[in-house]
């Protein structure tokens, strides 16, 4: 028998002198030797015979090795070799360079430029590599482009909208080449703009495109033609007609394609003009008709325009007249019809009725009666064209104003009557109807003559008359006055010695007339009747002067006394009602000025300087003494009224600083009577600061002599300015008084807001006419904060103070007092409320605000708000997240506010960054919203935690071998562990088993830390290698629930 060995190992069962080497496994290659056993004697080992395994060269094929750039179809390559089994694989090469990671029998290539090149494959059978396959070259084509035009244009209008051609290929964009029908190169852009300035843009266009270095075929031609925009005709003044002999009309032919050569024609096709404009003659109606035009631009003719119609009209005539009315019995009126279109045939109408035989330009109206009165119009026909009727022209008839003549202009009562006659030129026969008036009273009678009876003095007076002829009434005549016939000269008796030695106040005198006059016998006439006929005036002494005088707030009182009489007075004196003694002039208090006696008149003037209500109120009187006559007296009532502002609760209220929030002042009124009411006003805006205090109000205090009245008022929230106390009296003589308050007031927002971890700023403003010298802030009674004063704003009278401090915790919240110290050391304060809110953002795996995350994991973030928020929003890298970018896991809320919210975010390359949460605070005592964020966010960073396996490529039987799995330690993951795999079989205890349960490879695990805490290694140690084979081992690392698998490690066990 025989013993066969390979590489010194006995081949079990091989005892024949012939051994067939199996080709099923590359492990059967090696050096073979044999021994012969005969009679239990074994021969020496034979010489060695080496064999090696070869793999069949594969065949590379493709159903389509050419692809169109931009298509979605992949390019398939197939490699096949009969030597490749289920545990073998293929290697792929492109342009002789191995393609990493491709081991399958098929290779699918994308349809882009990265796939272009020559491809080969190689069979990997065990440890034996075949020769490379035949080469397959992958090529590409570009889809032939198509040309489109903006607006799908196949033509363009010269000087119209631009046309853009676009070259497009389904293979995508690249570099372009445009050419015309002559092959001239035009552009290298995707779009080519056609100039529409003339017809040179018309023609055929082609394009090509080169994508990823592959050029397309030339596109189909795209044809463009040029057109000229159909012209339009406009007329000067937009006329659609012209007036014969009126303003000329010019037609203009216009095309948006510009100017060129023109052709005008009429409705008969007659050629009229070659100019852009065509002037229409308006001398007659031959210019009426339809007009057309064409224009040729750059050799391209337009279509004929739409017709433009012109018609001829005659200017509407107007009527002029020698008068708008005529006097019955007077001159005739002539009407003239005139049209700017000239003369022609005329038609006249009266009250819309044509007048037979009235065909001349002029129409003469008769004035014999009122038959010619009415409304006239006319029309004219020129060159067979008739005008419209003129505007109506009204002609009226009137009666001449009459006049009155009389037999006498006066009459004595009970004497001879007077006859009046009314005469008008419109009634020469006197047959008209007459009307007579005495004053405004119509008298009985309608005849031309009227008799004034002398029986009664009431018939004397002013008479007028009017006459009606042919139903037309005249105006009333000028008045005719009939007076009483009086005696002249009369006999006069004064009722005193004649002539009197003294002139007293004459009350009456007696007059008598001779027979034949109105007055017969003596008659007493009172002086109030004045002059009667030629009688002299009454002789009367008169004294008059100023009416009631008022002095407001100490203004001087000036009073006058005026005497009129024919006798010069002896003297004039002034008195005050409180004393019987006449007043005497004093330098500072009383001034008396007495004028000269001229023209039977004399004046005396009394001036009281700066009167006071307590002593100068009351009546003043002047007395005029005339020799031989009674003493004349004139009284002048005087009211002296003064108002002053008295001191209130404020230390001083004139030109001072009010440091309290309230101001109390008293308005003291000294007057002859009590005021109706008192009002306070701030002059700065003329607005009443309080409701007017009525005189009956309990706040009015009256002095014992009822000449002084005190009114107190208290103002809150005093503003700086001038305050005025106004009094109101029934007679409208109302003095007032004022004072100026320099008020130091503070304004500030009722509350401020600061988030925890930020710096708060509190600001308050002093409003005063002078600056403060210091500002300070206090929190409670123990914490004082020095403030900072800004530059004083002298224009707006404002001084700004502020303080800044860190809001480290919620204890900084509360009331702060802002206090300004004035130059007088007066202090003014204002309280400001500071609200605080804080938020904290955390993550269960975050360390020091940093969170390392593996791709594919889910981020969990928690926002906690100690005092609650109305709402919570989430921010990444300063940008607010939308609800679609995260999921709310839970929200804790109560009493309308949120105290906690938990969200999750699925990781991707776009979700790594700095996360923070933001709350919105709102409180009824601080009515404005404020946002606050956590002082620091959570920085989420992606970690690349690859697992790799290392070890030798081969180990002999019986030896031990160590595989090393290296992976990163990712902070924040609480469970990090790894598994080892033999092929796809897990190795839970370090042992690899055969299918029958027997141990194939015994081993053990151990883990060690390297590079401090950042990297770990897991060791898999196989203690004894046996049963030669080629094996694949890999490790798997799990971070919580994220699994990282290493590439397989191939080793050969001999």
DSSP class per residue in 300-362 = EEPPPPPPEEEEEE-PPPEEEES-SEEETTS--EEEEEE-TT---EEEEEETTEE-TT--SSE
Give the model confidence (pLDDT) of 924-960 as tens digits. 556 555 667 777 788 888 777 777 777 776 777 667 7
Q: How far apart are the first and last CA of the chain?
A: 28
Q: What value does the mean pLDDT take over residues 681-700?
A: 45
At residue 629, the 3 state secondary structure works out as coil
- Classify burial at 480, counting beta carbons within 10 Å of its beta carbon; exposed 0-12, middle 13-18, buried 19 or more: buried
Q: What are phi and psi of 704, to 5 degrees?
A: -65, -30
Query: Which tokens sit at 361?
Result: 């330009």
CA triplet 728, 733, 736: central angle to 5 degrees? Answer: 60
The percentage of the chain sitting over the pLDDT mark of 90, rounded to a whole number, equals: 27
Q: With DSSP H G I counted as helix, E B as strand and the rest as coil, what are the percentages for the chain, rounded to 5?
A: 5, 55, 45
Report whether the peptide linkage leading into residue 489 is cis, meaning its omega lies within 30 degrees of zero.
yes
Q: Model confidence at 915, in pLDDT bands (50, 70, 90)?
A: confident
* pLDDT reported for residue 720: 59
pLDDT at 121: 94
Q: What angle do CA 331, 333, 339 make, to 5 degrees?
A: 155
CB 469 within 8 A of CB 427: yes
Distance separating alpha carbons of residues 595 and 575, to the nearest angstrom = 18
Eight-class DSSP state of 237: G
Task: List the beta strands (DSSP E) in 12-51.
Answer: 30-38, 41-42, 49-51
Bridge partners for 639 per DSSP = 550
- If one compares 748 and 220, the residue with the highest pLDDT of the two is 220
Q: Which has more confidence, 689 or 24? A: 24
d(CA 470, CA 474): 11
Rounded average pLDDT over 266-282:
92
CA distances from 122 to 95, 108, 1048 (A): 14, 16, 21
What does the alpha-carbon distance between residue 206 and residue 217 come to, in Å, rounded to a whole number?
A: 10
3-state SS assignment for residue 884: helix
- d(CA 373, CA 376) in angstroms, rounded, equals 9
- b/e code 374-400 from CB counts within 10 Å (16+ = b): bebbbbbebeebebeebeebebebbbb
- Burial degree of 711 (CB within 10 A; 0-12, 13-18, 19+): buried
Flag whether pLDDT at 432 surpasses 80: yes
As a whole-number percent, the residues of the chain with pLDDT over 70 amount to 81
Distance separating alpha carbons of residues 76 and 173, to the nearest angstrom = 25
Cβ(147)–Cβ(247) below 8 Å? no
| pLDDT of 653 strictly over 50 | no
Instruction: Tell me how far CA of residue 481 lies from CA of 408, 409, 411, 466, 871, in angstroms.
Output: 10, 7, 11, 16, 101
Q: How confident is the model at residue 494 (pLDDT cuts 50, 70, 90)?
A: very low
What pLDDT score was predicted for residue 881?
Answer: 87
Rounded distance, CA 1016 to CA 966, Å? 6
Q: How many CB atoms lie within 10 A of CB 620?
A: 23
How is residue 674 written in tokens? 């009590």
Which of 68 and 739 is assigned the larger pLDDT? 68
Based on DSSP, count helices (H) and strands (E) in the chain, helices before strands.
1, 101
Read off the DSSP letter of residue 144.
Answer: P
Mean pLDDT of 847-865: 80
- What pLDDT is stored for residue 807 in this prediction? 81
Q: Residue 150 contacts by C-beta under 8 Å, 6 or more apart in sequence?
A: 162, 163, 164, 166
Dist CA 211 CA 213 (whole Å): 5
Listing from the earlier edge strand, what are the strands of the sheet with 277-280?
A: 232-235, 249-254, 277-280
Q: How confident is the model at residue 437 (pLDDT cuts 50, 70, 90)?
A: very high
User: Cα separation of 241 and 233, whole Å?
Assistant: 14
**Which has more pLDDT, 987 or 515?**
987
Residue 428 has pLDDT above 60, yes or no: yes
* Residue 770 pLDDT grade (very low, low, confident, very high; cuts 50, 70, 90): confident
Q: 726 with 552: CB under 8 angstroms?
A: no
Q: How many other CB atoms sit within 10 Å of the CB of residue 61?
A: 14
Q: Which comes out higher in pLDDT, residue 623 or 826?
A: 623
Token pair 């009204």: residue: 394
Helix H or strand E encompassing 614: helix 613-616
Give the pLDDT of residue 541.
54
Q: Is the pLDDT of residue 139 over 80?
A: yes
Instruction: Please state the rounded mean pLDDT for residues 689-716.
Output: 53
Nearest to 94 by CA among 131, 119, 71, 115: 119
Q: What's the CA gap between 396 and 374, in Å, rounded? A: 6
Does 85 or 826 have the greater pLDDT score?
A: 85
- Most confident stretch, 267-276, 494-503, 777-786: 267-276
Q: Would you state the pLDDT for residue 449?
A: 92
In this structure, what token pair is assigned to residue 620?
């003043």
The tokens of 111 are what? Answer: 């349809």
Is 128 a residue whose pLDDT tops 60?
A: yes
DSSP 546-568: ---EEEETTPPEEEEEEEE-SS-
Instruction: Summarize pLDDT for 578-591 with one digit per residue, the tens.
Output: 888 999 998 888 89
Tens digit of pLDDT for each residue in 877-912?
Answer: 888 888 888 899 998 888 778 888 898 888 775 678
Burial class (CB in 10 A: 0-12, 13-18, 19+), 878: exposed
Q: How far is CA 545 from CA 181, 557, 632, in A?
A: 116, 14, 12
| CB 526 within 8 Å of CB 507 | yes
Angle value at C-alpha 43, between 12 and 45, nearest 5 degrees: 65
Q: Which one-letter DSSP state was computed for residue 541?
A: -
- Residue 654 is predicted with a pLDDT of 36
Asked if residue 655 has pLDDT above 60, the reply is no
- Across the chain, mean pLDDT equals 80
> Is the pLDDT higher at 135 or at 966?
135
Query: What is the pairing mode between strands 954-955 and 1049-1053?
Result: parallel
Q: How confident is the model at residue 9, as a pLDDT?
A: 81
Residue with tokens 């013993």: 3
CB 232 within 8 A of CB 252: no
SS3 838: coil
Instruction: Assign 203 to helix, strand or coil.
Output: strand
Instruction: Identify the residue whose tokens are 């009086």.
Output: 486
């Amino acid at each position: 028998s025989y013993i066969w060995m390979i590489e010194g190992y006995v081949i079990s069962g091989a005892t024949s002198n012939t051994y067939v080497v199996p080709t099923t496994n590359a492990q059967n290659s090696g050096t073979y030797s044999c021994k012969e056993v005969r009679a239990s004697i074994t021969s020496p080992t034979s010489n060695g015979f080496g064999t090696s395994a070869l793999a069949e060269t594969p065949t590379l094929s493709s159903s389509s090795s050419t692809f169109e750039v931009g298509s979605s179809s992949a390019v398939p390559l197939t490699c096949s070799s009969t030597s490749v089994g289920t545990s073998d694989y293929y290697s792929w090469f492109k342009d002789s360079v191995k393609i990493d990671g491709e081991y399958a029998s098929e290779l699918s290539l994308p349809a882009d430029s990265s796939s272009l090149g020559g491809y080969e494959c190689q069979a990997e059978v065990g440890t034996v590599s075949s020769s490379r396959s035949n080469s397959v070259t992958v090529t590409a084509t570009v889809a032939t482009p198509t040309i489109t035009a903006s607006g799908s244009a196949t033509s363009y209008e010269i000087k119209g909208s631009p046309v853009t051609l676009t070259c497009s290929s389904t293979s995508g964009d690249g570099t372009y080449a445009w050419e015309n029908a002559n092959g001239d190169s035009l552009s290298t852009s995707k779009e080519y703009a056609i100039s529409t300035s003339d017809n040179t843009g018309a023609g055929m266009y082609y394009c090509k495109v080169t994508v990823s270095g592959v050029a397309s075929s030339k596109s189909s031609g795209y044809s463009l033609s040029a057109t000229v925009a159909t012209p339009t005709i406009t007329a000067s003044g937009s006329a659609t007609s012209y007036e014969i002999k009126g303003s000329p009309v010019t037609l203009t032919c216009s095309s948006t394609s510009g100017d060129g050569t023109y052709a005008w024609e009429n409705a008969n096709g007659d050629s009229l003009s070659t100019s852009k404009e065509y002037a229409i003659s308006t001398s007659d109606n031959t210019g009426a008709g339809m007009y057309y035009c064409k224009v040729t631009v750059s050799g391209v003719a337009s279509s004929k325009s739409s017709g433009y119609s012109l018609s001829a009209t005659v200017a509407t005539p107007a009527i002029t007249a020698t008068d708008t009315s005529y006097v019955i019995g007077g001159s005739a009126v002539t009407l003239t019809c005139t049209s700017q279109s000239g003369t022609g045939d005329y038609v006249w109408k009266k009250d819309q009725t044509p007048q037979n035989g009235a065909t001349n330009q002029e129409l003469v109206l008769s004035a014999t009666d009122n038959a010619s009165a009415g409304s006239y119009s006319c029309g004219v026909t020129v060159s067979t064209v008739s005008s419209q009727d003129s505007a109506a022209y009204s002609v009226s008839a009137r009666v001449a104003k009459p006049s009155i003549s009389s037999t006498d202009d006066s009459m004595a009562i009970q004497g001879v009557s007077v006859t009046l006659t009314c005469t008008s030129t419109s009634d020469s026969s006197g047959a008209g109807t007459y009307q007579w008036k005495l004053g405004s009273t119509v008298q009985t009678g309608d005849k031309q003559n009227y008799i004034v009876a002398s029986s009664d003095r009431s018939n004397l007076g002013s008479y007028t008359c009017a006459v009606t002829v042919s139903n037309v009434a005249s105006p009333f005549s000028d008045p005719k006055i009939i007076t009483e016939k009086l005696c002249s000269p009369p006999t006069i008796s004064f009722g005193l010695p004649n002539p009197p030695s003294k002139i007293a106040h004459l009350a009456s005198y007696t007059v008598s007339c001779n027979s034949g006059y109105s007055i017969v016998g003596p008659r007493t006439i009172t002086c109030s009747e004045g002059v009667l006929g030629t009688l002299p005036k009454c002789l009367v002494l008169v004294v008059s002067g100023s009416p009631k005088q008022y002095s407001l707030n100490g203004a001087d009182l000036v009073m006058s006394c005026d005497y009129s009489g024919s006798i010069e007075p002896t003297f004039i004196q002034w008195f005050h009602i409180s004393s019987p003694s006449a007043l005497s002039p004093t330098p500072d208090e009383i001034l008396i000025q007495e004028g000269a006696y001229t023209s039977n008149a004399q004046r005396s003037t009394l001036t009281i300087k700066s009167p006071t209500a307590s002593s100068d109120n009351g009546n003043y009187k002047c007395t005029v003494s005339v020799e031989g006559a009674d003493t004349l007296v004139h009284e002048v009532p005087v009211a002296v009224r003064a108002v002053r502002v008295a001191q209130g609760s404020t230390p001083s209220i004139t030109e001072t600083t009010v440091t309290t929030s309230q101001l109390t002042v008293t308005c003291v009124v000294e007057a002859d009577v009590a005021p109706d009411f008192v009002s306070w006003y701030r002059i700065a805006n003329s607005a009443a600061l309080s409701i007017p205090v009525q005189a009956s109000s309990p706040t009015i205090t009256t002095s014992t002599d009822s000449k002084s009245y005190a009114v107190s008022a208290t103002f809150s929230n005093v503003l700086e300015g001038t305050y005025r106390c106004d009094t109101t009296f029934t007679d409208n003589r109302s003095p007032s008084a004022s004072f100026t308050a320099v008020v130091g007031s503070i304004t500030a927002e009722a509350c401020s807001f600061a988030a925890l971890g930020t710096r708060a700023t509190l600001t308050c403003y002093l409003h005063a006419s002078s600056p403060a010298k210091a500002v300070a802030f206090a929190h409670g009674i123990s914490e004082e904060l020095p403030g900072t004063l800004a530059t004083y704003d002298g224009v707006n009278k404002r001084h700004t103070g502020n303080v800044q401090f860190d809001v480290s915790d919620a204890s900084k919240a509360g009331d702060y007092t802002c206090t300004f110290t004035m130059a007088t050391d007066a202090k003014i304060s204002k309280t400001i409320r500071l609200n605080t809110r804080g938020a904290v953002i955390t993550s269960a795996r975050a360390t020091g605000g940093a969170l390392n995350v593996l791709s594919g994991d889910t981020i969990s973030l928690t926002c906690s708000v100690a005092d609650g928020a109305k709402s919570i929003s989430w921010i990444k890298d300063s940008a607010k997240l939308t609800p679609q970018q995260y999921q709310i896991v839970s929200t804790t809320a109560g009493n309308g506010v949120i105290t906690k919210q938990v969200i999750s975010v699925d990781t991707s390359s776009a979700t790594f960054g700095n996360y923070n949460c933001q709350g919105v605070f709102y409180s009824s005592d601080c009515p404005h919203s404020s946002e606050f964020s956590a002082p620091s966010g959570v920085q989420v960073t992606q970690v690349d935690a690859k697992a790799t396996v290392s070890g030798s490529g081969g180990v002999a039987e019986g030896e031990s071998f160590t595989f090393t799995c290296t992976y990163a330690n990712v902070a924040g993951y609480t469970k990090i562990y790894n598994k080892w795999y033999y092929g796809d079989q897990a190795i839970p205890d370090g042992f690899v088993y055969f299918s029958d349960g027997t141990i194939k490879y015994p081993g053990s695990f151990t883990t060690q830390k390297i590079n401090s805490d950042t990297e770990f290694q897991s060791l898999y140690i196989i203690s004894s290698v046996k049963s030669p084979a080629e094996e694949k081992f890999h490790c798997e690392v799990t971070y919580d629930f994220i699994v990282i698998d290493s590439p397989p490690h191939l080793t050969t066990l001999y």
